[in-house]
Chains A and B, each alone.
Chain A
Amino acid sequence: MRQMKRLLDVYVALQALFALSWCFTDADPGPAVGSQSNGERFKIEGRAIVPGVKTQDWVSTARILVEGEEYVGFVKTDGSFAVNDVPSGSYVVEIVSPSFRFDPVRVDITSKGKMRARLVNYIKTSEVLRQPYPLQIRSSGPHTYFMKRETWGWTDFLMNPMVMMMVLPLLIIVLLPKVVNTNDPEMRKEMEQSMNMLNPNPELPDVSEFMTKLFSKGSSKAGGGNKGSRSVALKRR
């Protein structure tokens, strides 16, 4: 709680500058007082737009909620809406629809009935980023309620870096003996030498020896390679 307050203090200090630049009469705590002092009621107007969808397909399920369910409005068949009988104050106006997502907007109404709309910012509550008024609320697409299932496809599997790292050396192992004649004793000696040079510590188990042994044996590792990749698949599950 304490740290949040500290954060907020910083924000308050910051937005004092903002407040100066906007010569709007609505001070932060003002509107709620205004609503009590006079009983005048105002109307929040606007239009909801869902690009590419006919209005009749979504208007029957949409509602306009002002500050929770404190004031409720409905969408007309052309997408416009009006919420009547709202006293002065600051409200979050939200269009709720089970199928489309709309971003909420904060609407400030002064006691004289002057209106402005701004982006909702719950952290810097009095930061003003103006939005058009009457409201123009454009849907940002359908809701994404569902998580994607992790599907298993051969391409996903093959493009996996681990698999790539395993398959490439395997190919080299299988193909290299075909390119280089390993039965040639001179060649073998040369290779052994180069391998030994690469290996700085002779105490370690000799990889080259193992490899050359493997090369000389010819090819029965198709199964082995297969095995390796499958066990990876097992791990992935």
Chain B
Amino acid sequence: MAWLVVRLAISMSLLYTASAVFEDQVGKFDWRQQFIGKVRFALFDTHSQASKKLLLATDKNVFASLNSRTGDLFWRHVDKTGPEGHIDALLMYGQDAVVVVGNGRLLRSWETTVGGLKWETVLDTGSFQAAALVGVQDFVKYVAVLKKSAISLHDLSSGSEIWVENLPDSDSVQYQTIYSGGNGLVLVLGVVPNSHIVIVEYKIEDGEIMNKKSVEAAWMSSLESSCAVVSSGILLCVDQITQSLYTLPLQSAEQTEMRQIHLQTLDLEVVSGFRPVLTSTQPNPAQPPLSEFFLQLSPDHHILLQFKDGLIAPLRDFNPAYLAAFATSGERTVAAVMSPKNDTACSINLFSADTGRRHLDTTIIYHMDPNGGKPNRLYVHAFLKKDDSVGYRVMVQTEDLALTFLQQPGRVVWMREEALADVVTMEMVDLPFTGTQAELEGEFGKKADGLLPMVLKRLSSQFILLQAWLAHLWKLFYDARKPRSSVKNEVTIDVLSRDEFNLQKMMLMVTASGKLFGIDSKSGTILWKQYLENIQPNSVFKLIVQRTTAHFPHPPQCTLLIKNKDTGLGSLYVFNPIFGKKSQISVPALPRPILQTLLLPVIDQDYAKVLLLIDDQYKVTAFPSTKNVLQQLQDTASSIFFYLVDSSQGKLSGFRLRKDLSTELIWEVVIPTEVQKIVAVKGKRANEHVHSQGRVMGDRSVLYKYLNPNLLAVITESTDTHQERSFVGIILIDGVTGRIVHEAVQRKARGPVHFVHSENWVVYVYWNSKFRRNEFSVLELFEGAELYNSTVFSSLDRPHPPQVLQQSYIFPAPINTLEATLTEKGITSRHLLVGLPSGNILSLPKLFLDPRRPEMVSEQSREENLIPYAPEMPIREEWFINYNQTVSRVRGIYTAPSGLESTCLVVAYGLDIYQSRVFPSKQFDVLKDDYDYILISSVLFGLFFATMISKRLAEVKLLNRAWR
């Protein structure tokens, strides 16, 4: 019975708190963009001429099929992160794509039209070396996988293992490549560095070793990077030290030595310090490779060579040329070469592979993005035109992970910014006012100069507004007349301006590759992008908004702190967040590793907030550091505190700023690292507002919240990972005084811990290793029935410790990330946004995470709207704010307030990016989407006419009565 009451109460409360999506709101204010990551392998489906498929395997362990006409995803499979999902090789034959995953652990075959798995085989352990398709008599039937010490052959249609053989002398020989020319043999090539090459021949049918030989090659260290097989089984190697090419027929019994051909005899020379690269092509795995190949001699010098009758002849020299690639369509193989045209553009031309002759009218001009990186990969899709000539399209990948698909004569068919698959941090910035808006706002800022001029000014600004409105109406009318397709809502920076409710903002996204993006939050259009070169791959970024758009005419200003994870050395990049332009402001040099940054509410004369950078000697650098700022800092130094975390020593320490910008240690808390380690420390968000100071209880008394802005939540995990002894700890510590406000330990629990710290509560999630489930725990801090000092909060003067309430709940799903909604004034009730591994984002009312939820329902608790305690947290599909627009591998959720109190902007990022709005207390401040104007107006008119008619009737009646 009690259970039933609980259920009923829950379902009742759901009626009030549900913030769900309605079906007609789909795509109205939300959008999703899907990404795949940095392309490692790309194959065009050349199986049929009309095919639009482009198969891609990326470093994010994603295997995807793209529509090559539009750049949209057909399907995408996201594997496990880390080395176990790493894609080692991608091979394609007909409709099937064979993928080797997890360092040669799994062999998968995908049906590329449907996107479903055809078969999957587990291979023996051993580090993966190479994989190749093997054909017999013009027909590809097998796939061979070479491991460090074994080779296995699998059937292409079922995945079943035909045979597996151990490689001879695999301890000393490094086997690196497989070659099969379609003659019933599989050749495995290995090398003993600086000694000799080993060639082992296997029979396809049963894996019997047919032949084994070794060839002297004292100069060779690795096969993979410097060798290629050309023509009918000729191994070709290049060595930069001896400046020569070496050839060896793999299957001839006579020749037991590699033949050396000096590059000088071909009038060629390798640039010193550059490792030359050989590229050959084998259009059909059942046939030997072509005898033509590319030799790259320097970063921008390629040469097309031909091997014929034991001789090497140059076909064409491409100097300069950045990139070169082969492509085959039908029986014809072509080579595409990208060469620089001028500073901003490259031209791509097509050459026939067998002669080196240029195909006429095949130039594609590729314009390089001045804010982007250099092109580094070229993928060519060749096809036969109706007149039997070869046409082609190319996909260019640049250093900044942009994929551009071009067709003749240089039209960009589509473009993908794959850097966005790895967003590290982001911010949302308000858009600037338009001229008219600024005019109107400016009116209030100026000093009054008499009554009449004020009235005139007001009239003139109203007139300007009227004009703008009329222009807008005219545009609407004009657009409505045009056919729908021709009206394009192009979003550019110039037309961007703040909307009336500030719902449209600029999203600044920082990606791991060092590319910055400015994205319009309404449409998802990339408005600007900036590639920062020379970013170390292991950098950490911190984005700081120093000046918002509110200080016209000063441009908004953002600062990106880029810090090298190993050395700790940082640098600052200052830019304008609306236009993406680098600011001309001189930035301080940071010679020492940076430990902590601090954005102060102190502003300089140009309204930029002051950023303090603390280095490893506890010296403080201010940015900007004008005289004005330094003066202000001196005045307020005694009230500027900051904290440092050293998780390796388990030390938390608090510092105070001195007048000379040095610091003094105030407090220190040591958490012994033998027992537990600090995992994360979080304060509260600076832009958070708390509207109500307390909660009204059932008996009309007020329970005041403990709103300490300096409170830090420190999460620790035990170093002992045994499930009986592991624990998760939380310490609430005052960042100014170092006083530990509260401490709690969750036994038999382990991380990963996700937590949110806001207002007077902390919500954290951990894994209960005893019961194998995720649990939510909520801590709420209250001052009690009376406030100690209601006017101002001071950490130094708080004699009474807060009352702490805690409750835990079972969460019936794994969790990827956790964040809380944020609104302008903090009146709207809060929701927690939970990113789930399924890709859904759950909007969970904070009401469910209330430590005051009673076990027994009482009159008072009902009056307070408290839901009776239930151990399991409900998950309802209606609470998934992103319905079927799932976000793969959601890593972070960013929330920002909008101009409407009811609305919170949400961006979830991971592999995909999803932007939406949530209304935790429904849209109480605007008319709802489904507001029925027709009904209201019809009722009004109905009432109006009814009164008219009844009035008339009453008159007639009165008249009649008078006559009676």
Residues of A at under 8 Å CB distance from B?
A: 1, 3-4, 7-8, 28-29, 32-33, 43, 55-56, 59-61, 63, 65, 67-72, 74-77, 81-82, 84-85, 90, 92, 94, 96, 98-99, 101, 120, 122-123, 125, 143-147, 149-150, 152, 220, 223-224, 226-227, 230, 233-234, 237
Residue interface mask B835-858, A partner, CB < 8 A = 1: 001110000000000000001000
A220 and B957 in contact, given A8-B771, A125-B773 (Cβ under 8 angstroms): yes
Partner of A4, one of B108, B816, B871, B950: B871
A145 and B878 in contact, given A61-B75, A76-B117, A122-B812 (Cβ under 8 angstroms): yes
A68 and B23 in contact, given A149-B930, A152-B935 (Cβ under 8 angstroms): no
Shortest distance from the beta carbon of A100 to any chain B beta carbon, whole Å: 10
Evaluate contact between B872 and A234: CB separation under 8 angstroms: no
Evaluate contact between B114 and A94: CB separation under 8 angstroms: no
Interface centre among B21, B84, B117, B880 (most CB of A within 10 A): B117
Residues on B with beta carbons closer than 8 Å to the beta carbon of A96: 837-839, 886
Shortest distance from the beta carbon of A177 to any chain B beta carbon, whole Å: 16
Shortest distance from the beta carbon of A79 to any chain B beta carbon, whole Å: 9
Partner of B116, one of A55, A147, A234: A55
Residues on B with beta carbons closer than 8 Å to the beta carbon of A224: 950
Partner of B22, one of A70, A143, A149: A149
Q: Check B85 for interface membership: any CB of A closer than 8 A.
A: yes
Residues on A with beta carbons closer than 8 Å to the beta carbon of B872: 122-123
Q: Closest chain B residue to A71 by CB distance?
A: B80
A234 to B940, CA, bound (A): 9
Q: Closest chain A residue to B881 by CB distance?
A: A145
A226 to B814, CA, bound (A): 56
**Looking at chain A's contact residues, is the secondary structure mostly helix, strand, loop, or mixed?**
mixed
Evaluate contact between B869 and A29: CB separation under 8 angstroms: no
Evaluate contact between B116 and A77: CB separation under 8 angstroms: yes
Partner of A146, one of B21, B122, B957: B21
Evaluate contact between A77 and B808: CB separation under 8 angstroms: no
Residues on B with beta carbons closer than 8 Å to the beta carbon of A90: 772
Shortest distance from the beta carbon of B776 to any chain A beta carbon, whole Å: 11
In residues 801-821 of chain B, which contact A (Cβ within 8 Å)? 806-810, 812, 814-816
A233 and B837 in contact, given A29-B770, A32-B723 (Cβ under 8 angstroms): no
Chain A to chain B: the 3 pairs with minimum beta-carbon distance, closest first: A60-B115, A68-B814, A77-B116
Evaluate contact between A84 and B889: CB separation under 8 angstroms: no
A77 and B871 in contact, given A125-B771, A145-B21 (Cβ under 8 angstroms): no
Q: Closest chain B residue to A62 by CB distance?
A: B116
A125 to B889, CA, bound (A): 27
A33 to B855, CA, bound (A): 36
A71 to B82, CA, bound (A): 11
Evaluate contact between A74 and B117: CB separation under 8 angstroms: yes
Partner of B855, one of A3, A67, A75: A3
A98 to B76, CA, bound (A): 13
Q: Closest chain B residue to A234 by CB distance?
A: B939
Partner of A149, one of B24, B815, B939, B946: B24
Residue interface mask B768-782, A partner, CB < 8 A = 1: 011111000100000
A105 to B355, CA, bound (A): 62
A202 to B831, CA, bound (A): 58
Evaluate contact between A82 and B116: CB separation under 8 angstroms: no
Evaluate contact between A146 and B772: CB separation under 8 angstroms: no
Evaluate contact between A32 and B769: CB separation under 8 angstroms: yes
Evaluate contact between B886 and A220: CB separation under 8 angstroms: no
Q: Closest chain B residue to A124 by CB distance?
A: B771
Evaluate contact between A4 and B809: CB separation under 8 angstroms: yes
Evaluate contact between A145 and B880: CB separation under 8 angstroms: yes
Shortest distance from the beta carbon of B963 to any chain A beta carbon, whole Å: 16
Interface centre among B23, B79, B771, B957 (most CB of A within 10 A): B771
A147 to B25, CA, bound (A): 11
Residues on A with beta carbons closer than 8 Å to the beta carbon of B957: 220
Residues on B with beta carbons closer than 8 Å to the beta carbon of A56: 114, 116
Residue interface mask B881-892, A partner, CB < 8 A = 1: 001111001000
Partner of A60, one of B81, B116, B724, B771: B116
Shortest distance from the beta carbon of A157 to any chain B beta carbon, whole Å: 10
Partner of B878, one of A4, A63, A65, A146: A146
Residues on B with beta carbons closer than 8 Å to the beta carbon of A122: 771, 773, 810, 812, 872
Q: Closest chain B residue to A82 by CB distance?
A: B120
Residue interface mask B942-961, A partner, CB < 8 A = 1: 11001001100110010000
Partner of B724, one of A29, A71, A76, A223: A29
Residues on A with beta carbons closer than 8 Å to the beta carbon of B78: 63, 72
Q: Check B106 for interface membership: any CB of A closer than 8 A.
A: yes
Q: Check B936 for interface membership: any CB of A closer than 8 A.
A: yes
Evaluate contact between B23 and A146: CB separation under 8 angstroms: yes
A227 to B942, CA, bound (A): 9
Interface centre among A70, A76, A90, A92 (most CB of B within 10 A): A76
A4 to B883, CA, bound (A): 32
Evaluate contact between A75 and B116: CB separation under 8 angstroms: yes
Evaluate contact between B120 and A84: CB separation under 8 angstroms: yes
Residues on B with beta carbons closer than 8 Å to the beta carbon of A77: 111, 114, 116-118
A150 to B20, CA, bound (A): 13
Shortest distance from the beta carbon of B447 to any chain A beta carbon, whole Å: 47
Shortest distance from the beta carbon of A33 to any chain B beta carbon, whole Å: 8
Residues on A with beta carbons closer than 8 Å to the beta carbon of B111: 77
A220 to B883, CA, bound (A): 54
A84 and B106 in contact, given A72-B80, A220-B954 (Cβ under 8 angstroms): yes
Residues on B with beta carbons closer than 8 Å to the beta carbon of A230: 939, 942-943, 946
Q: Closest chain A residue to B882 by CB distance?
A: A145
Shortest distance from the beta carbon of B322 to any chain A beta carbon, whole Å: 36
Evaluate contact between B806 and A1: CB separation under 8 angstroms: yes
Q: Check B18 for interface membership: any CB of A closer than 8 A.
A: yes
In residues 42-85 of chain B, which contact A (Cβ within 8 Å)? 74-75, 77-81, 84-85
Evaluate contact between A65 and B884: CB separation under 8 angstroms: no
Q: Check B877 for interface membership: any CB of A closer than 8 A.
A: yes
Interface centre among B106, B772, B773, B878 (most CB of A within 10 A): B772
Shortest distance from the beta carbon of A215 to any chain B beta carbon, whole Å: 15
Evaluate contact between B839 and A98: CB separation under 8 angstroms: yes
Evaluate contact between A72 and B883: CB separation under 8 angstroms: no
Evaluate contact between A60 and B114: CB separation under 8 angstroms: yes
A233 to B937, CA, bound (A): 12
List 28 contacting pairs A-B, 8 Å CB cutoff, sorted by A.
A1-B808, A4-B871, A56-B116, A59-B114, A60-B74, A60-B116, A61-B75, A63-B78, A67-B814, A68-B814, A75-B116, A84-B105, A85-B105, A90-B772, A98-B839, A101-B877, A120-B812, A122-B810, A123-B810, A125-B773, A145-B884, A146-B23, A146-B878, A147-B21, A223-B946, A230-B942, A234-B939, A237-B932
